[in-house]
Amino acid sequence: MATWNSRGLRGSTLEDLVNRTNEQYAEKKLALIQKIPTPITPVRMDKENRHITLAYFEQKSTVDYIGAVQGIPVCFDAKECCVDTFPLSNVHSHQVSFMEAFEQQGGIAFFLIFFSHADRFYYLPFRDLMVFWKRMENGGRKSFRREELKEEFYLPKQSGFLVPYLEGIQQDLKMRD
């Protein structure tokens, strides 16, 4: 079973950037997105500093973020990758099931992927993830390469937001029409 301190602070920089972007979007009344905390059960505490030093995850979390953008329900998960190949083992089947049900209810589900070595953010629509996911389930690659991704979903740096994922949602909506 995974423990809180065994995972370290993976993705915490990305999480900070997304959280700040969410604050910017809320301030400008463009979106209201909240981080979903992962429920944990503390096992060991540093009583002197009142810090949890060891904990177990109580249950599988679904997605990192959920909310609404101009009346459209959205949910997404943020992942960090330090190479050009993204392992699908970073995505869990319970997340896929939740996102699929979310989209069936009229919402938009996606992954934000930060390719840290290239300093590039990518908006991966759920339907595109499913192409890679089904390929894996059918015995194909258990990952996808950056070169397989659609250029139009790389997020621009010049928009004034740290992680301008609303640009990705806008592009996603255009392609759904």
Distance, CA of 129 to CA of 142 (rounded, Å): 12
Is 77 annotated as a binding-site member?
A: yes
E-strand ranges in 50-151 read 51-57, 65-69, 72-81, 85-87, 108-115, 120-125, 143-145
In contact, 103 and 109? CB cutoff 8 Å = yes
62 is in an annotated binding site: yes
50 φ/ψ angles, rounded to the nearest 5 degrees: 55, 45
Amino acid at 161: F
Helix (H, G, I), strand (E, B) or coil at 5: coil
- The response to whether 128 counts as a known ligand-binding position is no
Whole-angstrom distance, CA of residue 130 vs CA of residue 81: 19
How does DSSP classify residue 59?
S
List, as residue ranges, the binding site: 62, 64, 77, 95
List, as residue ranges, the binding site for Mg(2+): 62, 64, 77, 95
